[in-house]
Amino acid sequence: MLLRHTSAEPVERTGLMINPAKTCQPIGAMYAALGLHGCLPHSHGSQGCCAYHRSALTRHYREPVMAATSSFTEGASVFGGQANLLQAIDNIFTVYDPEVIAVHTTCLSETIGDDLNQIAIKAKDEGKVPEGKYVIHASTPSYVGSHVTGFANMVQGMVSAFSASTGKRNETLNIIPGYVEPSDMEEIKRMASLMGLKTIVFPDTSNVLNAPQTGKFRMYPKGGVTVAEMKATGDSKATIALGPLASDLAARKLDTLCKVPCHTQELPIGLQATDRFVDTLRKVGGVSVPESIAVERGKLLDVMTDMQAWFYQKRVALFGDPDSLVSLVEFLVALDMHPVHVVTGTPGKAFEQKIRELTAHLPVPVNVKAHGDLFLLHQWMKKEPVDLLMGNTYGKYMARDEDLPFVRFGFPIFDRVGHSYFPTVGYMGGIRLMEKILDALLDRKDRDSPEESFELVI
């Protein structure tokens, strides 16, 4: 057994986290910054932070993930990192020529209290920031929240740095897509365009972290929201923020700064959440839902109808990030599945409350934990077994030990491809999710069926 020391009996732990279901803020900030065109993310801390974040993002996307670091040494840790950051800004603009440097902090620079805003102003004053270029920043202490919090903080940083109101509102909608894959961001744009809406989606990692092989490396790939677009977000008619934890902060900031009204809702994963997204697009955008979108919805519904038997009352354990889990649980419930064990590593009791509401009517008890870990989830699974496990690649160790069908969902996925190219948001994304769940369940059925009941037609 790979996790041979995991017993079935959960005991309360207050000191030790075992097999986390979250990671730290800066990686989320780095990911968000990559969704800004021409931007080089910068990690203000020890070299290791930047190396670890780049490695993890690279393994997940199989794409270049460029970022720089302040390379703290013991001296910088004692005397403050200002000199390092100023030097870094100078070097980065000279050598790597980005349009924007997006600096995020680490637990190190937060603990010593470096003031990024003051350092950014000083860099500008000292002429280290060329004309027309920018240094933006976000505070992302690793000991608060999770990678999702870091994403939210950097998106807010983008708004604070760029969004401006010229006083002339236009018909454009801002969409903050949440901590989702580049494929999902692409899909959100596609759906909005089918609705006939002009949008600014930010951040936008499509064509950055799923860029084509062209034989030529581009330090700053073609994708990403541009600085001009970011500035224009202040004149948009409204902001739709998808995924409260990842996107609400920036949407509210935009409301505060530029009086752009915001509508925050769940990530459009699954039927109902996508319905609400489309309906919000319709109402806020002042358009009607086109036939093409209705057709996609109908297709999703059709697969749900056709394959209902295979979902019915299947017990599922799942782990991931709060925003995506809430929508996913709602979808699984709509499929008549039973999501019985739900864990996120990200702290926040609102998550537990939300999952409880979504599963309140199920005929089975549901375990849910925020700021939990995979050790606890595994113990729950041992005690009350499930038919399916969904989560990131770390789930494969539990799936193998418990001999369970496993669907990869979330971040990080280190051992499969697809997530960068095929969305799980929207109606078509819902079909893909069902396909993945069915593949896992039916492959297992085919593997385990006695020969006489091994079926050609399912």
Partner 1 sequence: MKKETTMSDEKNTAAKLEKIKAEILAKYPTKVARKRAKQILVNRKDSTGKVPEVGANMRTVPGIITQRGCSYAGCKGVVLGPTRDIVNITHGPVGCAYYSWLTRRNQTRPESETDENFMTYCFTTDMQEEHIVFGGEKKLKQAIQEAYDLFHPKAISVFATCPVGLIGDDIHAVTREMKEKLGINVFAFSCEGYKGVSQSAGHHIANNGIFTHVVGLDDTIGKGKFRINLLGEYNIGGDSFEIERILDACGITLVSTYSGNSSIDHFANSHTADLNAIMCHRSINYMAEMMETKFGIPWIKVNFIGAESTAKSLRKIAQYFEDEELKARVEEVIAAEMPAVKVSLEKVKPRCEGKRAMLFVGGSRAHHYQDLFAELGMETLAAGYEFGHRDDYEGRKVLPSIKVDADSRNIEELHITPDAKRYVPRKDEESLKKLENEGLAFREYEGLMPDMKENTLVIDDISHFETEKLIEMFKPDIFCAGIKEKYAIQKSGIPMKQLHSYDSGGPYAGFKGAINFYEEIERMVNAKVWSYITPPWAAEPELSANYAWVA
What DSSP element (H or E) covers 317?
strand 315-320
How would you list the strands of the sheet with 173-176, edge to edge? 199-201, 173-176, 238-242, 262-265
Which of residues 33, 100, 107, 390 is near partner 1 by CB under 8 A? 107
Which of residues 32, 33, 89, 188 is near partner 1 by CB under 8 A? 89
Q: Which is nearer to partner 1, 87 or 272 (CB)?
A: 87
Structure tokens given for 390: 């969904």
- Which residues within the stretch 371-400 sit at the binding site for partner 1 (CB under 8 A)? 375, 394, 397
- Based on the shown chain and the rule CB under 8 A, indicate whether residue 213 belongs to the binding site for partner 1: yes
- Based on the shown chain and the rule CB under 8 A, indicate whether residue 18 belongs to the binding site for partner 1: yes
Which of residues 168, 217, 447, 455 is near partner 1 by CB under 8 A? 217
- Which residues within the stretch 125-144 sit at the binding site for partner 1 (CB under 8 A)? 141-144
CA torsion sign, 255 to 259 to 261 to 267?
Answer: negative
Q: Least separation, in Å, of the C-beta of 35 and partner 1?
A: 17
Task: Report residue 392: phi and psi, to 5°.
Answer: -75, 180
Structure tokens given for 107: 């637990």
Which of residues 2, 295, 350, 417 is near partner 1 by CB under 8 A? 2
- Based on the shown chain and the rule CB under 8 A, indicate whether residue 242 belongs to the binding site for partner 1: no
**Contact in structure between 192 and 281 (CB atoms under 8 Å):** yes
Q: Least separation, in Å, of the C-beta of 50 and partner 1?
A: 8
Q: Say which residue the tokens 């929201």 belong to.
A: 225
State how far Cα 13 lies from the chain centre.
28
Which of residues 30, 39, 56, 343 is near partner 1 by CB under 8 A? 56
Of 94-102, 228-236, 330-338, 428-436, which segment contacts partner 1 by CB under 8 A? 94-102
Q: Annotate 305-318 with b (16+ C-beta within 10 A) or e (fewer).
A: eebeebbeebbbbb
- Which residues within the stretch 316-375 sit at the binding site for partner 1 (CB under 8 A)? 345, 347, 375
Q: Which is nearer to partner 1, 113 or 132 (CB)?
A: 113
Of 14-22, 237-245, 253-261, 426-434, which segment contacts partner 1 by CB under 8 A? 14-22
Q: Least separation, in Å, of the C-beta of 10 and partner 1?
A: 11
Which of residues 102, 108, 154, 318 is near partner 1 by CB under 8 A? 108
- Which residues within the stretch 400-419 sit at the binding site for partner 1 (CB under 8 A)? 414
Q: Least separation, in Å, of the C-beta of 397 and partner 1?
A: 5
Burial class (CB in 10 A: 0-12, 13-18, 19+), 213: exposed
Q: Least separation, in Å, of the C-beta of 39 and partner 1?
A: 14
Spatial separation of the C-alpha atoms in residues 149 and 154, rounded to whole Å: 9
Mind giving me the DSSP string for 404-433?
Answer: --EEE-SS---S---TTTS-SBHHHHHHHH
Q: Least separation, in Å, of the C-beta of 392 and partner 1?
A: 11
What DSSP element (H or E) covers 173?
strand 173-176
Spatial separation of the C-alpha atoms in residues 47 and 58, rounded to whole Å: 16
